[in-house]
């Protein structure tokens, strides 16, 4: 009895099967055209070059001709290799038997050695794909020399090419988001996904950046396992792990359930993201000129007591003492987020291991620092993620564990619950100027979904959790009640606006009595908008905005001391036309 | 087969849904919609300034039913969506040539 092949073995078997098919077509073509087996070759590139073929991966193949190879002959060769593949579908021969022999897309090109070199010089993505070029059929010496040239070019031009690669990579991260925090993660393109593994390999090949190879290999293989299982489940090409497929993918990968798969993916993708972040920062410090001769010790810019900046990162100074300074974590976080700097891994690790617990109640400075941190805007996301990864967030707010990495229950949500809370803070920071107490808005934004970690209506269960946290932080009792009310009512406006008769005075009175005063209404409006924007585009459609705006104005009119909140902004409802001078 | 389309006030959706469910209607398509009828929208005040609300938020329901059930379904929708005030909405009926359930390939009455 033979053992079932592992997925890694099946990936290699798919590549070998595709190699065999291409090789046989190649030899038939050479024979038919009466050409020598020299001066031209078939080359596997990209994932196929690395023998990492998932069941429905594309096959990237280049027909390489020596410079000066006859154009007509190479065209005839191409026709005799590509056409049979298009005609009979299944390219990789499907030895694994798990892709049903379905069609695999062929990504093909025909180039001379010189043209290939130019293409790599013009396009970073081509250059990255060619770093993995592998001989399949034809002249092996041609492939070997072309590969040597590609690698030599990559290394020679690395100082010029790596910074644009870093910029492209960061742009992709901004566009696609974090794999660990997405409700339907893209296993390839997301931050912490397979594309990052390819980028890291390219950085490693440049000899300018060091990446721990064993860790990279292990993390990449873990992600490929999930991608293979996803292809097996869906029966088609694609890298997005949507909720419908999770249970089956988890089963196929041997996890106990969806939560197990989720935790494993988080660890893997965070590991890759971490390697990529460190490597890209090394790229940022590549300088064409030699290093200046001067001080041997690093020179830190002092940012706050115990906190300094070094090469774009916030670090702890030699005098910092996390074990006797409970505010140090928040000081470092504010220093990083307010200046859009990276909180260094060394600082985050040390804070995670040594940071003293905050005294109860928190000192005034602690509350002030947390308030400053939460209104820092988009730069909060990365800093919070680093604090969370090293356990600092749980030192400050142990209740955070309830929602950490928690997958959302609704398909409308684009983030995990913890990431949604941070994104709500980011959105709320934009509305801070519209409310009297922005620090209370920030706290409500951070805590509004903590009830999701348990049974029952999360708005109701979340309110006492929020109160407990705020009391521990030393907020005044009135403020504690205000935030608890915001948490309890954070869905009130949307739910009422979309399901109740807004022309019925009873509806308006009920909302007004729940809200109580104009200041709370302003806070609740800002929280509602921030929560919806952080949830996803469907949650804050024009339709919903307009209904909420109608409700809010009706409620505001019933609150006697309510002056209209000043704002120079256009209303959220896009279909309003301003009536001027009528 | 007939397609019943109703545009109603959002807060009436649950009432209409419950009434249709009691009657045995098992499925419908619900869309967030905006529009206006004879009332031509209305005026609102938002943060102190006055605005014309050209398009009022509504909910659009689409239900495919057998011809014999149309009158009952329309009456149920009208009764349960009515508030008697301006902007209650409209219901209209259009003929449907054929209906296919994607999962099974069932057609017409079997597919509804």
Is there a contact between A107 and A38 (Cβ–Cβ < 8 Å)? no
Instruction: Answer yes or no: do B44 and A550 touch at CB < 8 A.
Output: yes
Considering CB atoms only, which of B11, B44, B57 is closest to A553?
A: B44
Torsion angle of C-alpha atoms A116, A120, A122, A125, degrees rounded to 10: 130
Whole-complex ipTM: 0.75
How many Cβ atoms sit within 10 Å of the Cβ of residue A511?
Answer: 23
Residue of B nearest to A507 (CA): B11
Looking at residue A515, its pLDDT comes to 92
Q: What is the pLDDT of residues A165-211, one digit of tens each?
A: 999 999 999 899 888 888 889 999 999 999 999 999 999 999 888 88
Looking at residue A582, its pLDDT comes to 29
Instruction: Answer yes or no: do A543 and B32 touch at CB < 8 A.
Output: yes
CB contacts of B45 in chain A (<8 Å) are 553, 564
Is there a contact between B35 and B58 (Cβ–Cβ < 8 Å)? yes
Q: Angle at CA A174, nearest 5°, toward A173 and A178?
A: 50
Instruction: Answer yes or no: do A576 and B34 touch at CB < 8 A.
Output: no
Residues 6+ apart with CB under 8 A from A177: A190, A191, A414
Instruction: Answer yes or no: do B46 and A549 touch at CB < 8 A.
Output: yes
Average of per-residue pLDDT values in chain A: 87
Say how far residue A9 (Cα) sits from the centre of its chain: 29
Is there a contact between A525 and A419 (Cβ–Cβ < 8 Å)? no
CB contacts of B32 in chain A (<8 Å) are 541, 543-544
Burial class from Cβ neighbours inside 10 Å (0-12, 13-18, 19+) for residue B94 reads exposed
Is there a contact between A421 and A530 (Cβ–Cβ < 8 Å)? no
Residue of B nearest to A572 (CA): B46
Q: What is the pLDDT of residues B81-108, one digit of tens each?
A: 998 888 899 999 999 999 999 989 999 8
Task: Name the nearest CA neighbour of A130 among A192, A205, A57.
Answer: A205
Is there a contact between B34 and B56 (Cβ–Cβ < 8 Å)? yes
Instruction: Answer yes or no: do B47 and A564 touch at CB < 8 A.
Output: yes
Is there a contact between A384 and A393 (Cβ–Cβ < 8 Å)? yes
Give the 3-state secondary structure of A269-334: HHHHHHHHHHHHHHHHCCCCCCCCCCCCCCCCEEEECCEEEECCEEEECCCCCCCCCCCHHHHHHH
Burial class from Cβ neighbours inside 10 Å (0-12, 13-18, 19+) for residue A345 reads middle
Q: What is the pLDDT of residues A46-97, one digit of tens each?
A: 999 999 999 988 889 999 998 888 888 888 999 899 888 877 655 544 434 4
CB contacts of A575 in chain B (<8 Å) are 34, 53-55
| Residue A578 forms contact with B (CB below 8 Å) | yes
Is there a contact between A200 and A131 (Cβ–Cβ < 8 Å)? no
Q: What is the pLDDT of residues A299-358, one digit of tens each?
A: 778 899 999 998 778 999 988 899 999 999 999 999 999 998 889 888 999 999 999 999
Give the torsion sign (CA, A443, A444, A446, A451): positive
To test the contact with chain A by mutation, choose from B47, B60, B86 the residue with the greatest count of A C-beta atoms within 10 A, namely B47
Burial class from Cβ neighbours inside 10 Å (0-12, 13-18, 19+) for residue A239 reads buried
User: In whole angstroms, what is the distance from residue A474 CA to residue A24 CA?
Assistant: 76
The residues that bridge with B94 in the sheet, in sequence order, are B3
The residues that bridge with B61 in the sheet, in sequence order, are B6, B30
Q: Which helix (H) or strand (E) holds B29?
A: strand B29-35
Instruction: Answer yes or no: do A576 and B47 touch at CB < 8 A.
Output: no
User: In whole angstroms, what is the distance from residue A305 CA to residue A542 CA?
Assistant: 47
For chains A and B, CB pairs below 8 A equal 69
Task: Name the nearest CA neighbour of B29 among B2, B59, B9.
Answer: B59
Q: What is the pLDDT of residues A239-278, one digit of tens each?
A: 999 888 989 999 999 988 888 888 889 889 988 998 998 8
| Residue B30 forms contact with A (CB below 8 Å) | no
To test the contact with chain A by mutation, choose from B10, B13, B54, B85 the residue with the greatest count of A C-beta atoms within 10 A, namely B10
Instruction: Answer yes or no: do B54 and A575 touch at CB < 8 A.
Output: yes
Higher pLDDT, A370 or A291: A370
Instruction: Answer yes or no: do A498 and B11 touch at CB < 8 A.
Output: yes
Question: Given a cut of 60, is residue A548 above it in pLDDT?
Answer: yes
Residues 6+ apart with CB under 8 A from B53: A546, A550, A573, A575, A576, B41, B42, B43, B44
The pTM for the full model equals 0.71
Torsion angle of C-alpha atoms A531, A537, A543, A547, degrees rounded to 10: 0
Say how far residue A429 (Cα) sits from the centre of its chain: 21
Looking at residue B39, its pLDDT comes to 62
How far is A577 from chain B, CA to nearest CA, in Å? 6
Q: What is the mean pLDDT of residues A482-492?
A: 96
Instruction: Answer yes or no: do B57 and A547 touch at CB < 8 A.
Output: yes
Tokens representing A434 are 């519209």
Instruction: Answer yes or no: do A575 and B45 touch at CB < 8 A.
Output: no
| Residue found under tokens 């019943």 | B4
Q: What is the mean pLDDT of residues A134-146?
A: 94
Instruction: Answer yes or no: do B50 and A579 touch at CB < 8 A.
Output: yes
Comparing A80-94, A440-454, A484-498, the range with the smallest average pLDDT is A80-94
CB contacts of B9 in chain A (<8 Å) are 501
Instruction: Answer yes or no: do B46 and A573 touch at CB < 8 A.
Output: yes
How far is B81 from chain A, CA to nearest CA, in Å? 11
Q: What is the pLDDT of residues B36-94, one digit of tens each?
A: 776 665 555 444 444 445 678 899 999 999 999 999 999 999 999 998 888 899 999 99
Torsion angle of C-alpha atoms A265, A271, A277, A278, degrees rounded to 10: 180
| Residue B17 forms contact with A (CB below 8 Å) | no
Looking at residue A473, its pLDDT comes to 96
Is residue A522 very low, low, confident or very high in pLDDT (cuts 50, 70, 90)? very high
Residues 6+ apart with CB under 8 A from A387: A329, A333, A343, A348, A351, A393
Tokens representing A53 are 């073929």
Considering CB atoms only, which of B13, B45, B47 is closest to A565?
A: B47
């Amino acid at each position: 009895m033979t053992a079932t092949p592992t997925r890694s073995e099946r990936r290699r078997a798919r590549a070998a099967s595709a190699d065999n098919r291409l090789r046989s077509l190649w030899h038939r073509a050479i024979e038919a055209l009466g050409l020598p087996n020299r001066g031209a070759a078939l080359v596997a590139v990209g994932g196929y070059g690395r023998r990492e073929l998932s069941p429905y991966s594309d096959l990237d193949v280049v027909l390489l001709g020596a410079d000066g190879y006859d154009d007509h002959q190479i065209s005839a060769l191409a026709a005799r290799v590509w056409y049979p593949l298009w005609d009979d579908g299944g390219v990789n021969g499907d030895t694994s038997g798990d892709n049903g022999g379905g069609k695999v897309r062929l990504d093909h090109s025909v180039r001379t050695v010189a043209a290939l070199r130019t293409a790599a010089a013009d396009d970073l993505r081509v250059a990255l794909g060619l770093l993995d070029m592998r001989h399949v059929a034809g002249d092996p010496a041609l492939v070997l020399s072309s590969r040597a040239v590609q690698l030599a070019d990559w290394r020679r031009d690395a100082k010029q090419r790596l910074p644009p690669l870093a910029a492209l990579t960061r742009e992709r991260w901004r566009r696609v988001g974090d794999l660990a925090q997405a409700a339907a993660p893209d296993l390839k393109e997301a931050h912490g996904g397979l594309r990052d593994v390819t980028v890291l390999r390219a950085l490693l090949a440049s000899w300018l950046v060091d990446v721990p190879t064993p860790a990279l290999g292990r993390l990449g293989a873990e992600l490929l396992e999930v991608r293979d299982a996803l292809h097996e489940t869906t029966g088609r090409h694609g890298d997005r792990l949507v909720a419908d497929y999770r249970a089956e993918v988890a089963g196929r990968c041997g996890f106990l359930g969806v939560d197990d798969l989720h935790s494993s993916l988080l660890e893997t993708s965070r590991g890759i993201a971490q390697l990529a972040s460190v490597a890209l920062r090394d790229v940022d410090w590549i300088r064409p000129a030699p290093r200046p001769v001067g001080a041997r010790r690093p020179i830190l810019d002092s940012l706050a007591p115990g906190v300094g900046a070094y090469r774009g990162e916030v670090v702890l100074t030699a005098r910092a003492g996390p074990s006797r300074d409970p505010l140090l974590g928040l000081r470092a976080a504010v220093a990083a987020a307010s200046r859009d700097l990276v909180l260094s891994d060394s600082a985050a690790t040390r804070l995670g291991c040594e940071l003293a617990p905050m005294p109860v109640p928190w000192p005034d400075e602690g509350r002030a620092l947390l308030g400053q941190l939460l209104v820092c805007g988009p730069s909060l996301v990365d800093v919070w993620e680093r604090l969370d990864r090293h356990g600092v967030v749980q030192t400050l707010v142990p209740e955070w564990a309830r929602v950490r990495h928690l997958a959302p229950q609704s398909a409308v949500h684009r983030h995990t619950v913890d990431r949604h809370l941070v994104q709500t803070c980011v959105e709320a920071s934009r509305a801070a100027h519209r409310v009297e107490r922005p620090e209370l808005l920030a706290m409500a934004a951070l805590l509004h979904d903590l009830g999701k970690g348990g049974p029952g209506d999360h708005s109701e269960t979340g309110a006492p959790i929020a109160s407990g946290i705020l009391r521990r932080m030393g907020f005044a009792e009135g403020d504690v009640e205000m935030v608890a009310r915001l948490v309890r009512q954070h869905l009130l406006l949307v739910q009422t606006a979309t399901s109740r008769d807004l022309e019925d005075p009873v509806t308006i009175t009920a909302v007004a009595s729940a809200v109580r005063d104009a200041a709370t209404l302003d806070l609740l409006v800002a929280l509602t908008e921030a929560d919806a924007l952080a949830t996803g585009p469907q949650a804050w459609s024009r339709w919903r905005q307009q209904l909420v705006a109608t409700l809010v104005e009706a409620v505001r009119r019933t609150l006697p001391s309510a002056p209209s909140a000043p704002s120079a902004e256009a209303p959220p409802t896009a279909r309003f036309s301003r009536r001027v001078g009528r | 087969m007939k397609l019943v389309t109703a545009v109603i006030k959002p807060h009436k959706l649950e009432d209409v849904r419950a009434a249709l469910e009691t009657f045995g209607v098992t499925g419908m398509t619900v869309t967030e919609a905006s529009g206006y009828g004879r009332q031509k929208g209305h005026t609102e005040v938002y943060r102190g300034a006055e605005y014309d609300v050209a398009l009022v938020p509504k909910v659009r329901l689409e239900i495919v039913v057998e011809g014999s059930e149309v009158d009952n379904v329309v009456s149920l929708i009208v009764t349960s969506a009515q508030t008697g005030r301006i902007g209650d909405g409209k219901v209209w009926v259009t003929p449907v040539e054929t209906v296919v359930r994607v999962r099974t390939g069932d057609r017409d009455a079997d597919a509804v």
